[in-house]
Amino acid sequence: MSDTLAGSAGSPPARLGPYDVDGKIGQGGMAIVYKGVQPSLNRAVAIKVLPPQFSTTQELLARFDREAAIVAQLAHSNIVQVIDRGRQDNLLYIVMEYVEGQSLDKIIQAGGLTLAQVIDFATQICEGLDYAHQAGVIHRDLKPSNILVDQRTNRVKIADFGIASLESTDSALATLTLDRSAIGTMNYMSPEQRMDSHRVTSSTDIFSLGVILYEMLTGKLPVGHFRDPSMIRQDIPLGFDTIVKRCLAESPADRYASAAQVRDELQRLTARRTAPRSFSVMGRFNKRQQWVVLAGAATGLLLLLVAVAAAVGHLRKLQSERGGPLAVGGPSANEIRIQSDYARAQGMIREGKWAEAMVILSGLVQQAPRHPLAAEFQFAIAMACGELPDRERSILEFDRLIRNYPQSPRVSEAIVKKCRAEWERGRQRRMLGGPVWDAQLQQRLIAELQEVLDKHPATAHAVSALDLKAEIAEMPLLSDVHAAAEALMMRYHLMPEGSPDALYHAAELYDQKVKDPVVAGQAYALFVHDFPSDRRAPKARSRLEQLRQNK
């Protein structure tokens, strides 16, 4: 084996220490992994050989021995066991448990992870992480390629614990990692780790876990202004959006305090999805309404697939025009400029420089109106207008997105935000002495929101649409309290854990204004059952008893 280990095309050594070497099974920016055999026990092992530069100084040798010894103490079913460490000539190697299976990145690339598989894998990753963190060991380079799945048992195994800290020990060695795999690793790094890789805590692994969870759910990386998982896949409960966002919080203090907390949230979410209920919210709607909800989910998924297909078709057209796949010749100078400008605009948005970002985004929309990300540029412009605040232009820009990019997955969100901006504009005019209420405006906005609910009944947009629909329907002149109460109950159905206010208000509307004691009693019963510690629970329980006595 040559001294320049990375990229070596030479034959593997026949033996490393007491271990026979069968052949190479993997290679990264900093090491080569071989499959080997431990003759004394006749068992397969994995041998990770580190670059020769690690043996150049006593400081690095001491660090290697110390880190390897610490990681070897980790004995957990979800962590690849470190068996031995050694040195042969100028090579350092680590001997690990051999896992017969695939890395998680290969499984994600193959596609088709079910929600049950995502929960299972994520829970196991949390178990391994929590055990290591309690032992004082941080991974520092958690990513799908460092997570193995045993093909026989589906047991998840986290690999390379502690190795990342070795590989970032020296700035000269760090330059060896500047290949495609290292650049990809940046997507999994927390903001604080990118600033200073030596001053990280277990919270940086929580951030990486959030990236992995998002990628398992959607097949995509949460880069820039990313969409919630539930907006990409119709079968993903809204609770996953909350878990992912908290893991990916920019400040470590805003993330989960431990991997065990993430595991517990996943388990609670699973329990809520599978727990039987004595009262079905869908049962309150007639057959036609139930069909609309179910058909809407299918239609929403179809529209998303159409949008994805259109984007893929556009990319293929670009590839054809350039004479082959984009990855072969690389992106064009114009594409690089577009991506660079978009990244710069996103950075300005994060810094609150909305006006500067709008100038760049507006230029992108004008110069590349058919770019696969054009709808994202337009959406960001509308959002920036709302932050400035420029409500009138925000409405205009959202409307432009809806008209110019009707197949974009952003359309439903844009409709909800446009309706909210129009409603707030009407409220402001009323406060300034304008008309009391505009019934035509109310009816139009409710119709537009209902279109979102019909097409995408189980997404994050649907919750926002239901909140706004209930607010608009309850106000005079329209004052359709039945529609308002129904919207609030549907909101509870979509997001039960986050809807105590909606459920209680719906119960009051059915009780006091709709005058439907049966549905009111059912709503009060649900509230008492799901939110027993809420300050309104005694009042709801008392009213429920009165309704039962009046039957």
> What is the structure's pLDDT at 527?
92
Task: List all residues 6 or more positions away from 408 whose beta carbon is below 8 Å from its beta carbon.
Answer: 307, 375, 379, 401
* Residue 433 CB neighbour total at 10 angstroms: 6
DSSP helix/strand/coil, 162? coil
Nearest C-alpha neighbor of 272 from the set 119, 401, 423, 454: 119
CA 134 to CA 345: how far, in whole Å?
40
Measure the CA–CA gap between 67 and 60, rounded to whole angstroms. Answer: 10
Residue 244 pLDDT: 94
How high is the pLDDT of residue 322?
45
Burial tier of 186 (Cβ tally within 10 Å: 0-12, 13-18, 19+)? exposed
- Longest Cα pair distance anywhere in the chain, in angstroms? 89
Q: Where are the alpha helices (DSSP H) in 74-134?
A: 104-110, 115-134
d(CA 445, CA 422) in angstroms, rounded, equals 8
Helix, coil or strand: residue 56: coil
Which residue matches tokens 């890395």?
103
What domains are defined for the chain?
Answer: 15-97 (3.30.200.20), 101-274 (1.10.510.10), 287-549 (1.25.40.10)
Task: Compute the chain's Rg from CA coordinates.
Answer: 28
The closest alpha carbon to 379, from 222, 215, 224, belongs to: 224
Alpha helices in 219-286 (DSSP H): 229-232, 238-247, 259-274
In whole angstroms, give the CA distance from residue 148 to residue 33: 14
Rounded to two decimals, what is the model's pTM? 0.51
Strands (E), 274-408: none
Token match 């082959």: residue?
Answer: 324
pLDDT in tens, the chain (551 residues): 333 343 343 466 788 889 999 888 877 656 788 899 998 888 899 988 877 766 666 766 776 676 677 777 788 889 988 888 888 877 888 898 899 889 999 999 988 789 889 999 999 999 999 999 988 888 888 999 889 999 888 899 998 875 555 444 443 333 233 333 333 467 888 888 887 766 788 999 999 999 999 999 999 999 777 888 988 887 888 888 889 999 998 889 889 999 999 999 898 877 655 444 433 444 444 444 444 444 444 444 444 444 445 544 554 554 444 444 444 445 678 888 888 888 888 888 878 888 888 899 999 999 888 888 888 899 989 988 888 778 899 999 999 999 999 888 888 889 999 999 999 888 777 776 666 567 888 899 999 999 888 877 766 678 889 999 999 999 877 788 999 999 999 888 877 777 889 999 999 999 999 999 999 999 999 999 988 999 999 999 999 999 988 86
Q: How many CB atoms lie within 10 A of CB 89?
A: 10
* Residue numbers annotated as active site: 141
Cα torsion 517, 520, 522, 523 to 10°: value is 180
Place of tokens 């949230």: 265
Q: Give the span between the Cα atoms of 503 and 116, in whole angstroms.
A: 29
What is the rounded end-to-end Cα distance, in angstroms, of the chain? Answer: 86
Alpha-carbon distance of 447 to 456, in angstroms, equals 14
Collapsed DSSP state (helix, strand, coil) of residue 204? helix
Which helix (H) or strand (E) covers residue 22, if one does? strand 19-27
Measured CA to CA, the distance from residue 294 to residue 289 in angstroms comes to 9
Q: How far apart are the C-alpha atoms of 456 and 462, rounded to whole Å? A: 7
Q: Assign 181 to helix, strand or coil.
A: helix
